[in-house]
Amino acid sequence: MNWLAWKMLTGDRTKYWGIVFGVAFGSLLISQQASIFVGLMRRTSSVIIDITTPDIWVLDERGQNLDEIRPMPDSRLYQVRGIEGVEWAVRLYKGLVRVRVANNSQANDDGNFRQVILVGVDDASLVGAPRKMVLGSMADIRRPDGIFIDEAGYRLLFPNEPLELGRSLEMNDRRGVIVGICHAHAPFQTFPVVYTRYSQATQFAPRERNLLSFILVKAREGIAVSDLCRRINDSTDLQALSTDDFFWFNIWYYIKNTGIPVNFGITVGLGFFVGAAVAGQTFYLFTVENLKQFGNLKAMGVSNWRLVGMILFQALVVGVMGFALGIGMACTFFVVTEASGQPDLRGMYVPWQVIVIAACAVSAIVILASLLSIRKVLVLEPAMVFK
Amino acid sequence: MQSTITSANQNENSAQAEVSLAVVCRGVTKEFGTGDTKVQALRGIDLDVPTGEMTLLVGPSGCGKTTLISIMAGLLDPTAGEVSLLGQDRRDLRGNRLVKFRADNIGFVFQQYNLLPALTAAENVAVPLLIANVKRSVAVERAKQQLELVGLGDKVDSLPRVLSGGQQQRVAIARALVHNPRLLVCDEPTAALDAHAGRRVMQLLRDTTVQPGRAVIVVTHDNRVFEFGDRIASMTDGHIDNVLTGGNFTAASH
């Protein structure tokens, strides 16, 4: 009977594609908006994503997120290093600094200032340095005045110019020379990300009494990260979080304290309701228009259960087709925007979790739509075929 | 317009006791609605439908013909009275048993053909076999053979929309017969056809459906097709007025 259900469903192509695109539209809205939301939230933790070597991030006990830096005195580093179970602990500077594009750039020789995210990595171990170089070598960061800049940031500071090393940036009246161009995840503020050694970062940063933003810690082998975090928390007045916990700690800050999730939640919700309304109504009307056919089948000896099975099969087909189309369109959207170099959506994609959520939402849409239709068919009197 | 029916033999009493009965109705009533809106569609119907014959059920609009064939086809429950379908008490046929009974034993021909527009003629005819879980390829093959029998061997792959009314009704007849039902219920099979096509359809029904062991009930307004019946039950206002048997009927309108 599934074959019959399929033929009934696809017999009128216009209606069939109308239902499929209703589901696809809902699926597209849900998955695309949810993916942008996830992408934005990931951007708030972009530095954490880029720095994967440490197990633990240590910050001031009142620190609320990655961007709200409460600098600590350097002595804290030695305090943490002295805790049992710490394999190594290194400094990390992170802050926003103003940069002036030096006059060796033809495009930006007007002395314009820009804001950049400055990351100062441990001088000795280079823990915290970018892992994927686009141009230059990792070792070059040790060169005097040497800085790395992320590719997207380079293109922002030097638009329409080829990637090349040797350009200069001025920060805090000091000169930094671009000796490497690297890949970095897009940050929330979309500022360029500049990497340098910690000792040099303290020169580029505005003077403050304390400059230590974070302490990155590696747990000794055999020591549970959670245990070490507890030890650091107990032994110091600092806050120690595993990399994963810090990632979520940061994201939850934005979820709780900004309107971003509400706005995206509304859009995702609207996507669900619009998708449900379009698909539900079209599917319901499709069933209503086919009531005579269903009644005919009922009179000819098709049981209610088989009719329900036929409707569920039809719902499954439009659900799968619509979902596949919607997810396909969402993925295509991100692939195209990424390929076009669009900075606003750089690095965004459809995570598998969003696909699962969209699948659940589409299932709910299709189930709602089919329940209305099933009810109509179940109460159908077979004698109506003679009317 | 009112029809008056005359029989060549004027046999008003049932003289064919030896003919087995496909449907027996005794004191059948049917009410719709309740209270002030209650309508009594059937008021004590007694009717026998023998096998091997074509029984015409005639009468003016609203007299209860459709309600009666719905009950005789197992699509509607009577309010009161006894109905026997192919030897089984209607009260014993409930739920899935009734559904299966209809699938196995009853064929339908409708006024508006009720073909599935997305299916070809052969696929439409195959539907009762698919309901009976016959493999699709086998069902379609048998459907094509059935279409040959109704003279539509060259239209097996045609969609209903490209067929004329008469051809669609022939497809519907093939569909009604493909699973070899013991009771065939036809509701106004000629109402949507012109006189010529109507006669051809009735002739086809007569030739292909009436056979020993099968009863054919045809509800019709069309007095031009009375001649095809073996028995005519005439209804008015929820009653059976009279039953004429013996065939060779003619109709006069005034």
0.80 exceeded by pTM: no
More confident residue, B89 or A345: B89
What percentage of chain A has pLDDT greater than the value 90? Answer: 39
pLDDT in tens, B88-120: 898 888 888 999 999 999 999 888 888 999 999
**C-alpha to C-alpha distance for B138 and B143, rounded to whole angstroms:** 9
Which residue in B63, B119, B131 has the most chain A C-beta atoms within 10 A of its own C-beta, making it the best mutation to test that interface? B131
Nearest-neighbour CA in chain A from B17: distance (Å): 31
Predicted local distance difference test score (pLDDT) of residue B252: 47
pLDDT in tens, A224-247: 999 999 999 999 989 999 999 999
Predicted local distance difference test score (pLDDT) of residue A100: 87
The confidence band for B19, taking pLDDT boundaries of 50, 70 and 90, is very low
Average pLDDT across chain A, whole number: 88
Predicted local distance difference test score (pLDDT) of residue A165: 92
Of A8, A297, A382, the CB nearest to B75: A382
Backbone angles phi, psi at B192, to 5 degrees: -95, 10
Nearest-neighbour CA in chain B from A295: distance (Å): 10
Q: What letter does residue A255 receive in the DSSP assignment?
A: H
pLDDT of B7 > 80? The answer is no
Predicted local distance difference test score (pLDDT) of residue A109: 53
Q: Which residues contact A50 (CB under 8 A, 6 or more apart)?
A: A130, A131, A184, A185
Count of residues for chain A? 387
The confidence band for B251, taking pLDDT boundaries of 50, 70 and 90, is low
Structure tokens at B56: 């015409």
Nearest-neighbour CA in chain A from B74: distance (Å): 9
Q: CB burial class (10 A; 0-12, 13-18, 19+) of residue B141?
A: middle
**C-alpha to C-alpha distance for A29 and A35, rounded to whole angstroms:** 10
Q: What letter does residue B37 receive in the DSSP assignment?
A: G
**C-alpha to C-alpha distance for B33 and B19, rounded to whole angstroms:** 37
Q: Give chain B's contact residues with A (Cβ, < 8 Å).
A: 66, 69-70, 73, 75-76, 96, 99-104, 106, 108, 110-111, 114, 116-119, 123, 127-128, 130-132, 136, 187
Identify residue B62 by its one-letter amino acid code: G
Among A69-83, A146-160, A203-217, A361-375, the minimum mean pLDDT is found in: A361-375
pLDDT in tens, A260-282: 888 888 887 887 788 777 777 87
Output the CA–CA distances (angstroms, integers) from residue B150 to A12, A164, B139, B172, in the order listed. 28, 83, 17, 10
Average pLDDT across chain B, whole number: 85
The confidence band for B18, taking pLDDT boundaries of 50, 70 and 90, is very low
Angle value at C-alpha B59, between B54 and B64, nearest 5 degrees:
95
Q: Mean pLDDT over residues B1-6, rounded?
A: 41
A305 to chain B: nearest residue by CA?
B96
pLDDT of B232 > 80? The answer is yes
**C-alpha to C-alpha distance for A206 and A97, rounded to whole angstroms:** 8
Output the CA–CA distances (angstroms, integers) from residue B239 to A347, B43, B63, B216, in the order listed. 80, 6, 8, 20
Q: Minimal CA–CA distance to A181: which of A143, A155, A142, A145?
A: A155
Which residue in A12, A289, A300, A302 has the most chain B C-beta atoms within 10 A of its own C-beta, making it the best mutation to test that interface? A300
Nearest-neighbour CA in chain B from A28: distance (Å): 30
Q: Does A297 touch chain B (CB under 8 A)?
A: yes
Q: What letter does residue A270 receive in the DSSP assignment?
A: H
Number of C-beta neighbours around residue A330 at 10 A: 26
Output the CA–CA distances (angstroms, integers) from residue B112 to A208, A296, A348, B95, in the order listed. 89, 11, 56, 27
Q: Is residue A293 a contact partner of residue B114, using CB atoms and an 8 Å limit?
A: yes
The confidence band for A30, taking pLDDT boundaries of 50, 70 and 90, is confident
Nearest-neighbour CA in chain B from A312: distance (Å): 17
A3 to chain B: nearest residue by CA?
B136
The confidence band for A102, taking pLDDT boundaries of 50, 70 and 90, is low
Q: Does A303 touch chain B (CB under 8 A)?
A: yes
Predicted local distance difference test score (pLDDT) of residue A110: 57
Predicted local distance difference test score (pLDDT) of residue A380: 84
pLDDT in tens, B165-222: 889 988 999 999 899 899 999 998 888 778 888 888 888 888 877 888 889 999 988 8
Nearest-neighbour CA in chain A from B223: distance (Å): 20
More confident residue, B148 or B195: B148
**C-alpha to C-alpha distance for B188 and B176, rounded to whole angstroms:** 14
Name chain B contacts of A302, Cβ cutoff 8 Å: 99, 103, 131
Q: Write down the residue that tokens 């719902």 correspond to.
A: A315
pLDDT in tens, B52-87: 889 999 998 889 999 999 999 998 999 999 999 998
Whether A4 sits inside 8 A of B114 (CB atoms) is: no
pLDDT of B254 > 80? The answer is no
**C-alpha to C-alpha distance for B54 and B72, rounded to whole angstroms:** 14
Of B69, B76, B102, the CB nearest to A301: B102
Q: Predicted ipTM?
A: 0.84
More confident residue, A330 or B192: A330
B98 to chain A: nearest residue by CA?
A301
* Ordered DSSP codes for A338-380: HHTT-GGGTT----HHHHHHHHHHHHHHHHHHHHHHHHHHHT-
What percentage of chain A has pLDDT greater than the value 70? Answer: 97
Count of residues for chain B? 254
**C-alpha to C-alpha distance for A229 and A235, rounded to whole angstroms:** 10
The confidence band for B247, taking pLDDT boundaries of 50, 70 and 90, is low
Instruction: Identify the H or E element spanning A131.
Output: none
Q: Mean pLDDT over residues A286-301, rounded?
A: 86
pLDDT of B11 > 70? The answer is no
pLDDT of A150 > 80? The answer is yes
Name chain B contacts of A293, Cβ cutoff 8 Å: 114, 116
